[in-house]
Amino acid sequence: MSNKMWGGRFASGPDAVMAQINASIDVDRKLYRQDIAASKAHAAMLAKQGIIPAQDAKKITHGLDTILSEIEAGRFEFKAALEDIHMNVESRLADLIGPAAGRLHTARSRNDQVATDFKLWVRDTVDALDDQFADYQRALADKAAEHAATVMPGFTHLQTAQPVTFGHHLLAYVEMAARDRGRFADARKRLNECPLGAAALAGTSFPLDRERTAATLGFDRPAANSLDAVSDRDFVLETLSAAAIAAVHLSRFAEEIVIWTSPLVGFLKLSDKFTTGSSIMPQKRNPDAAELVRAKTGRIVGALDGLLMVMKGLPLAYQKDMQEDKEGAMAAFEALSLCLAAMTGMVRDMTPDVERMAAAAGLGFSTATDLADWLVRTLKMPFREAHHVTGRIVAAAEKRGLALDALPLAAMQEIEPRITKEVFKVLSVAQSVKSRTSFGGTAPRNVARQAAKWLRRLGK
Ligand code: ARG
């Protein structure tokens, strides 16, 4: 049997493999809510413009509402033979209301339909993700406020660099998440143009009111070029790019959680809620959630790569290749949402080992820069020279196996006679972080202020 929606010129049905490669219903059924909303907006506009009888538009709307409740109640039978969500819905509409259903597809094509549905889906998804990002930021800012004065080593090259505060470190991720939200918000603004009414590719001879359809569906305006409207997938590429960058941020933090919870480092503990055991080694507590956040970045970045490859070289306008836009993107956004939930949970769950962090913060001559700065400030030494003198003092301390603040004054004076005992005031870890008061610096006062600012801004 040929296809009942488009089979007029076909004598027989498709080969089984053709049907299998062609069907997208297992993926695009997730668009049912958006598909129904767009159809209702289209039907109402058609009636308003006198293109279809108002009576039929009413039947269509009721029928679509019935289908929505059937799907939500799990009573809808999705059929692969009907290819996709659009034809599944329209076919069921015909079962429910008869011939009036046939008027719905006036001045519309699946090409503008799918672009509209998927845009609406991406927009809903971006809005839900934004709420999750805000939760994640709140969790970070709460912890940061609590640990504004908790010292830890700051690293460059994963070597001890200078002492920082744990709160400051957490607030770095709040800033990243803010940029992530900004990227999504920016993409959302650009995507908010309605493709519906572009029809197959050329527009239509019917007197549509595209402004009206756009407004009904919450778009800012109709897309201005029908060819572009049906062939544009920038809205997926842009939001996937934002997702990929966000996932990279989360994976960096996840990696730090893995490092910090290792017994070799021991900065952080996660509770039973966010760790798992080993089936053979009874002593183990593994940070699997963090490892999986780190790993899921692969599929999110992969989805962006995949769609860029699908789109490259596609001539205008719609090509069936574009049906491959949904599966990877939907999985990617789902993964990002799960990663955000897991990271938010881990941030709330984590307990830093404050003593261990403080002890580590003092290792590795971490206050050497403070010594150099003291030489600059007190002895008016040029920084380059101060750097050199400090290097020699560090070497002397290292040779004796002493920390910088344990090196006797006499030993320092052998290298620079003008050093006084005042220098010891700047060599402690606590003093070091306290002195970092420049804007954006790690001083506990700065951190407390920034955390409070974020919590206010995040509405808490
Ligand atoms: N299932 C299709 C997709 O997701 C809908 C558009 C099909 N258009 C067509 N002319 N065959 O892209």
Q: Which amino acid is at 284?
A: K
At 2, the pLDDT band (50, 70, 90 cuts) reads confident
Q: Are 138 and 458 in contact (CB under 8 A)?
A: yes
Residue 223's SS3 state is coil
Nearest partner of 332 among 105, 126, 72, 42, judged by Cα:
126
To the nearest whole percent, how much of the chain has pLDDT over 70? 100
Q: Which residue from 20, 122, 323, 330 has its CB within 8 A of the most atoms of ligand 1, so it is best to mutate?
A: 323
Catalytic status, residue 388: no
Q: Give the distance (Å) from ligand 1 centre to CA of residue 24.
A: 9
Judge whether residue 1 has pLDDT over 70.
Answer: no
Nearest partner of 274 among 207, 374, 193, 341, judged by Cα:
341
Query: What does the alpha-carbon distance between residue 140 and residue 368 come to, in Å, rounded to a whole number?
Result: 30
Residue 174's SS3 state is helix
To the nearest whole percent, how much of the chain has pLDDT over 90? 95
Q: Give the distance (Å) from ligand 1 centre to CA of residue 330.
A: 17
Provide the pLDDT for residue 44. 98
Q: Give the distance (Å) from ligand 1 centre to CA of residue 207.
A: 24
Q: Are 152 and 160 in contact (CB under 8 A)?
A: no
pLDDT digits (tens, 9 = 90+) for 332-345: 999 999 999 999 99
pLDDT digits (tens, 9 = 90+) for 410-437: 999 999 999 999 999 999 999 999 999 9
pLDDT digits (tens, 9 = 90+) for 7-49: 888 988 899 999 999 999 999 999 999 999 999 999 999 999 9
Protein residues with CB under 6 Å of any ligand 1 atom? 24, 28, 84, 110-111, 114, 318, 320, 322-323
Query: What does the alpha-carbon distance between residue 333 and residue 363 come to, in Å, rounded to a whole number?
Result: 42
Query: What does the alpha-carbon distance between residue 410 and residue 192 come to, in Å, rounded to a whole number?
Result: 70
Q: Give the distance (Å) from ligand 1 centre to CA of residue 229.
A: 14
* Mean pLDDT to the nearest integer, 440-458: 98
Nearest CA owner, ligand 1 atom 7: 110
pLDDT digits (tens, 9 = 90+) for 74-123: 999 999 999 999 999 999 999 999 999 999 999 999 999 999 999 999 99
Element (H, E) at 269: strand 268-269
Q: Which residue from 31, 110, 231, 330 has its CB within 8 A of the most atoms of ligand 1, so it is best to mutate?
A: 110
pLDDT digits (tens, 9 = 90+) for 242-275: 999 999 999 999 999 999 999 999 999 999 999 9
Residue of 157, 205, 279, 438 with catalytic role:
157
Nearest CA owner, ligand 1 atom 4: 323
Looking at the CA of residue 323, tell me the nearest atom of ligand 1. Answer: 12
At 280, the pLDDT band (50, 70, 90 cuts) reads confident
Catalytic status, residue 278: yes
Q: Across all residues in the chain, what is the average pLDDT?
A: 97
Cα 250 to the center of its chain, rounded Å: 8
Looking at the CA of residue 326, tell me the nearest atom of ligand 1. Answer: 4
Provide the pLDDT for residue 277. 87
Q: What torsion do the CA atoms of 37, 38, 44, 47 make, to the nearest 10 degrees? A: -150
Q: Which of 9-23, 163-177, 369-383 has the lowest mean pLDDT?
A: 9-23
Query: What does the alpha-carbon distance between residue 233 and residue 418 come to, in Å, rounded to a whole number?
Result: 68
Judge whether residue 314 has pLDDT over 90.
Answer: yes
Residue 311's SS3 state is helix
Residue of 69, 262, 271, 278 with catalytic role:
278
Q: Give the distance (Å) from ligand 1 centre to CA of residue 136.
A: 37
pLDDT digits (tens, 9 = 90+) for 187-242: 999 999 999 999 999 999 999 999 999 999 999 999 999 999 999 999 999 999 99
Element (H, E) at 193: strand 193-194
* Mean pLDDT to the nearest integer, 348-362: 97
